[in-house]
Amino acid sequence: MKRKPLKYYLASFLGIIVYLASSTPAMATEHAVAGFIYDITGIDIAPVTDGASSDNQNVSAMSLDSTPIPGFNNIGIANVETNLLIRKEPNSNATILGKMPRHSGCEILEPDNNGWTKVKSGKVTGYVKSEYLITGPEASKLALEIAIHVATFNGEGRLRVRKDPSISDDNIIDFIAPGEEILVLDPLVVTYGEEINKWVKVSLDGDDSEEGTVGYVAKEYVDLSYKLAQAYTIEELTYGTGVSNKRANIVNYAKKFLGYRYVWGGSGINNLKKNKGVDCSGFVQAVFGEFGYSLPRTSRDQAKYSRGTTISTSQLKPGDLIFYGSKSYINHVAIYIGNNKIIHASNRKDGIKISNAFYRTPVKCVRIIND
């Protein structure tokens, strides 16, 4: 599906072409994280058409560029190839508090002062080098282009992801934990004659296709929003105590590639190092290959690796592998890094990132490092 740019919806909003929708309210709400709200309950915003008046169409590029991005009062975007370090004080020797991946967003708290800018990104507040930060109208314009459309589970228990937009016992392909986000492919799919007739088409991390594993979730159980990536805290980047040197080295090596590109079918250490893109199993294969492990190419074959040992989630140590999929079918793999976190080549929007280990229900856990 071809995703309409966020700028399109913002242009419609600035055109003030608003009218009341039907009497049936939308089941979910849109939240301004780092993008434009376009589906507020009870309100619909019509697109600008060729027949609209010149007043409605007179939305210049300059007016869009100067418009504040919802969720930010003064947005900044990391202009780096890998990660932008956030430090406790405005100098290069200060303690590192976190890392902002490429094109992640932040709130500028204090403007440039002697080459340093004070920012807040996610849970991290500190100083970054101003030369690596895009600010002002340029940042607002870029945010409209790179914001990611996500659905966040707003309930309790587990959210069922279904193969089709309908309720049946045999079409559940996965479960999502509360508060977790999944990529949106289509924000509204309507079915008729069903108990639940409003669905969101989503993409799960997976190597089934370039779009990942396509599924559907009931719209009433998710909040839709546009977002930018945010900084990782040092705690999220720490694997914990009592970990062997080999495990620590593998995990630390994997973290070097935070923010690097995801490319479906991509593999090889050179593609990883040169940021040409790898997929989930290509990332795991490349990382472990640097430490003498010759893993198979696909996630399914890696789960059956002859030298690996199946373990339970309670036995996980940094450097172990977690596999995800539907029932016994595996289509995604990640490296466990401790503290209930994983690092994985997620999808073409997020690239290599850190996630909660149980954002989806693991199918299998495997220990490759026998120490």
CATH of the domain at 125: 2.30.30.40
Q: What is the pLDDT of residue 71?
A: 76
Q: Is the distance from CB of 347 to CB of 340 less than 8 angstroms?
A: no
CATH of the domain at 308: 3.90.1720.10
User: By percentage, how much of the chain surpasses pLDDT 70?
Assistant: 80
Q: Is residue 324's pLDDT more than 50?
A: yes
Are residues 92 and 53 located together in one domain of the fold?
Answer: no
**For the segment 42-75, what is each residue's pLDDT rounded down to a tens digit?**
223 233 344 444 443 333 333 344 445 667 899 9
Q: Over the range 34-46, which residues count as b (16 or more CB within 10 Å of their CB) and which as e?
A: bbbbbbeeeeebe
Q: Is the distance from CB of 322 to CB of 299 less than 8 angstroms?
A: no
Are residues 279 and 352 located together in one domain of the fold?
Answer: yes
Q: Which residues contact 23 (CB under 8 A, 6 or more apart)?
A: none
Are residues 29 and 178 located together in one domain of the fold?
Answer: yes
Are residues 210 and 343 located together in one domain of the fold?
Answer: no
Question: 12-16, 92-96, 127-131: lowest mean pLDDT where?
Answer: 12-16
Are residues 109 and 136 located together in one domain of the fold?
Answer: yes
Q: Which residues are catalytic?
A: 280, 332, 344
Q: Which residues contact 200 (CB under 8 A, 6 or more apart)?
A: 28, 151, 184, 186, 187, 188, 189, 216, 217, 218, 219, 222, 224
Question: 123-127, 285-289, 325-329: lowest mean pLDDT where?
Answer: 325-329
Are residues 103 and 53 located together in one domain of the fold?
Answer: no
Are residues 264 and 349 located together in one domain of the fold?
Answer: yes
Range of the domain at 160: 6-66+147-227
Confidence of residue 6 (pLDDT cuts 50, 70, 90): low
Confidence of residue 112 (pLDDT cuts 50, 70, 90): very high
Are residues 185 and 222 located together in one domain of the fold?
Answer: yes
What's the rounded mean pLDDT across residues 303-313?
Answer: 95
Backbone angles phi, psi at 302, to 5 degrees: -65, -35
Q: What is the pLDDT of residue 70?
A: 62
Q: What is the pLDDT of residue 194?
A: 78
CA distance 337 to 343: 7
Q: Which residue, 165, 196, 227, sits at the end of a domain?
A: 227
Please give the mean pLDDT across all residues of the chain.
84
Q: Which residue, 146, 180, 203, sits at the end of a domain?
A: 146
Residue 1 lies in a domain: no
Residue 55 lies in a domain: yes
Residue 46 lies in a domain: yes
Sign of CA dihedral 338, 290, 100, 221: negative
Q: Is residue 265's pLDDT more than 90?
A: yes
What's the rounded mean pLDDT across residues 141-159?
Answer: 94
What's the rounded mean pLDDT across residues 111-126?
Answer: 97
Q: What is the pLDDT of residue 240?
A: 62
Q: Which residue, 172, 193, 227, sits at the end of a domain?
A: 227
What's the rounded mean pLDDT across residues 350-371?
Answer: 95
Q: Is residue 7's pLDDT more than 70?
A: no
**Domain count across the chain:** 3
Confidence of residue 242 (pLDDT cuts 50, 70, 90): low
Higher pLDDT, 15 or 352: 352
CA atoms within 13 A on the CB side of 264: 13
